[in-house]
Amino acid sequence: MAAKQTHSTALGNRENSACENLSQKSAERIKKLRRQKVDIKKLSNELLNSNLTALSQAITLVESQSNRHEDSVKKLIENCLPHAGNSVRIGITGVPGVGKSTFIESFGMHLISQGHKVAVLAVDPSSSISGGSILGDKTRMEKLVQSPHSYIRPTASGTSLGGVSRKTRESIALCEAAGFDIILIETVGVGQSETLVHSMTDFFLLLKLAGAGDELQGIKRGIIEMADAIVINKADGNNIDQAKSAKLEFNRALQLYPPKSNDWKPKVLLASGLKHQGIDKIWELIERFVKQTKSNQSFDDNRALQAKYWLTQSIEENLKKDFYSHSEIKIALKKELLKIDQKKTTAFEAAENLLKLYKKTKL
């Protein structure tokens, strides 16, 4: 008996040792690959030829926070921008549990059946404690992920407001350059700031649940004003009557809002992502929206406004990055934070001192 236990223990130790060696080798291989200089021209050409591996590598490069990748990212975006812009960008938001992933899979499969190529940029919430994220959208969209005409990219929201990843806009351009003509952007939908998603999409879709007690109470003026359509999801089975009632409530509520500048009147539709019901009606509605807004020039006007908005956002982002990465600011910031802890200064005074120091370093 003791001999058997000794033998099994020895086998277990050898297996653990082999796993550790394999893990170390894998880690070293990954580090070596990351240290290699990226051939941007080659990567760009492969991406433009709809190589999904190249697309994933390009988005990973864009999402990198390493300063050594900045020049490579700029060149990559410059190479891809002339081939971007030829898509319909659709933002999809809703509270957790509304069925976003199931709806997107059903919607995406319908679009593919219509001859489209669909890219899904799904933003998963990051833990405020550990910073970790599950990134489980691919597991929740089993059918869509298997289609050669789809691409799903889960991204951690990090500290980005509203769950929109900091580099989502660049990722949209890369997906468009790779030949995807429909871009779906799924947000965390926790009500922080759907404004960001609205500022990078053509059509904004709000998913709601019937019978959740939020038919009217959950209508926040800003979100409703941004929405181009409201879809009552999970409108099937015993929930169908409640869904119809919710549709009436939302239709009444929409009458209270002023008309949009593009002359589009938001609609309320019923759908079931699980049962694939009402999905075709939603796409028909979006097609009508695109046709109407392109005919009155508001489609292109909206994209021009978005480009200006992202100009100011990029300036703010780069200034913030430059400020916090400055060596003198890092030291001064620690001192000011200590003074705040000791109640020797206020947050406003500390901020003023740091900004004065930052201005001096730039003279």
CA atoms within 13 A on the CB side of 49: 9
| Tally of domains within the chain | 3
Report the alpha-carbon distance of residue 149 to residue 118 in Å, rounded: 6
So what's the pLDDT on residue 163? 41
319: Cα separation from own chain's centroid: 23
Report the alpha-carbon distance of residue 272 to residue 203 in Å, rounded: 20
pLDDT above 50 (res 58): yes
Verify that 116 and 216 share a domain, yes or no. Answer: yes
So what's the pLDDT on residue 324? 93
Verify that 242 and 163 share a domain, yes or no. Answer: yes
pLDDT above 90 (res 9): no
Alpha-carbon distances of 37 from 34, 41, 43, 59, rounded to whole Å = 8, 12, 11, 16
pLDDT digits (tens, 9 = 90+) for 193-250: 567 788 889 999 999 888 665 544 445 666 778 899 999 999 998 889 999 998 998 8
Verify that 165 and 128 share a domain, yes or no. Answer: yes
* Residue 302 maps to a domain: no
* Buried b or exposed e, range 308-321, using 16+ CB within 10 angstroms: eeeeeeeeeeeeee
So what's the pLDDT on residue 127? 38
Q: In the numeric block, which tokens belong to residue 139?
A: 């597991």
pLDDT mean across residues, the chain: 83
* Residue 174 maps to a domain: yes
Domain that holds residue 354: 307-361
So what's the pLDDT on residue 166? 61
Alpha-carbon torsion (119, 30, 134, 76), positive or negative: negative
Alpha-carbon torsion (326, 328, 333, 334), positive or negative: positive
Report the alpha-carbon distance of residue 326 to residue 317 in Å, rounded: 14
Where residue 156 falls among pLDDT bands split at 50, 70, 90? Answer: low
Verify that 94 and 242 share a domain, yes or no. Answer: yes
* Residue 2 maps to a domain: no
Verify that 179 and 265 share a domain, yes or no. Answer: yes
Report the alpha-carbon distance of residue 262 to residue 298 in Å, rounded: 6
* Residue 48 maps to a domain: yes
So what's the pLDDT on residue 126? 46
Residue (of 167, 171, 148, 197) closest to 55 by Cα position = 171
Report the alpha-carbon distance of residue 206 to residue 142 in Å, rounded: 23
Verify that 355 and 239 share a domain, yes or no. Answer: no
Verify that 97 and 25 share a domain, yes or no. Answer: no
So what's the pLDDT on residue 187? 80
* Residue 301 maps to a domain: no
SS3 state at 245? helix
End of a domain among 58, 79, 100?
A: 79
* Residue 218 maps to a domain: yes
Verify that 273 and 125 share a domain, yes or no. Answer: yes
Verify that 121 and 199 share a domain, yes or no. Answer: yes
pLDDT above 90 (res 131): no
Q: Are 345 and 336 in contact (CB under 8 A)?
A: yes
Q: Name the residue type at position 80.
A: C
End of a domain among 296, 321, 349?
A: 296
Count the Cβ atoms, other than its own, within 10 Å of residue 157. 21
Verify that 211 and 265 share a domain, yes or no. Answer: yes
* Residue 41 maps to a domain: yes
Q: In the numeric block, which tokens belong to residue 362?
A: 């730039």
Report the alpha-carbon distance of residue 236 to residue 276 in Å, rounded: 10
Q: What is the largest CA-CA distance in the chain?
A: 85
Report the alpha-carbon distance of residue 11 to residue 77 in Å, rounded: 52
Where residue 50 falls among pLDDT bands split at 50, 70, 90? Answer: very high
More confidently predicted of 284 and 249: 284
Domain of residue 195, CATH code: 3.40.50.300
Verify that 252 and 117 share a domain, yes or no. Answer: yes
pLDDT digits (tens, 9 = 90+) for 260-276: 889 999 999 999 999 99
pLDDT digits (tens, 9 = 90+) for 17-40: 555 565 777 767 656 655 567 889
Verify that 73 and 105 share a domain, yes or no. Answer: no
* Residue 212 maps to a domain: yes
Where residue 155 falls among pLDDT bands split at 50, 70, 90? Answer: confident
pTM of the predicted model, to two decimals?
0.82
Where residue 2 falls among pLDDT bands split at 50, 70, 90? Answer: low
341: Cα separation from own chain's centroid: 36
End of a domain among 31, 47, 79?
A: 79
So what's the pLDDT on residue 129? 37
* DSSP, residue by residue, 103-161: HHHHHHHHHHHTT--EEEEEEEPPPTTT------HHHH-HHHHH-TTEEEEEEE-TT-G
